[in-house]
Amino acid sequence: MDRLKTGESREKATFLATLGFAAKLDGVTQDELDFIDEIAEDFQASKDELDAAKKDRDEEAVLALLPNITNEKTKKQLLRELFFLGYADGNLSDNEVIFLSKVGNKLGIDDETIERISEWVIRGIEWEEEGQELF
């Protein structure tokens, strides 16, 4: 995601706005807010960019932003981060699943790849949890 640190302000804004909307789908938790803050920090986003990402938008407005993301790798990274965000509270709600599917489809990611990303995220979370138990 280094490419979003410099010069890709529309992609960065879209990435953050999509995360901000997704966090609100099943009620925002502190873990979800912290997750978005970490992503914004990774992007070296300004406070204004972070505030803009967290502003209220409807689903149509968020989906309309997605064509701003043109890089194929960034599209998949957004979906990955959306799955991590969705699982941050320990449960991926039906509303989140539906929204993530819409995002993936709008970005041109096929259903099989969406499923593979989801499974990869789950394995990563399980791996981290196992590591916490071991260490």
How many structural domains compose the chain?
A: 1
Burial (Cβ within 10 Å: 0-12, 13-18, ≥19) of residue 132: exposed
pLDDT in tens, 6-38: 447 889 999 999 999 999 898 888 888 888 889
Would you say 36 and 18 are in contact if contact means Cβ atoms under 8 Å apart? no
Structure tokens, 126:
């399980």
Helix runs in 54-93, H state only: 59-65, 72-87
Percent of the chain scoring above 90 in pLDDT: 59
pLDDT in tens, 97-124: 999 999 999 999 999 999 999 999 999 9
State the residue for tokens 């989140």: 96
**How many residues comprise the chain?**
135
State the residue for tokens 């300004």: 46
pTM, rounded to two decimals: 0.87
Please indicate whether residue 84 or residue 6 has the higher confidence score (pLDDT). Answer: 84
CATH number, domain of 96, equals 1.10.3680.10
- Domain extent, residue 54, equals 2-134
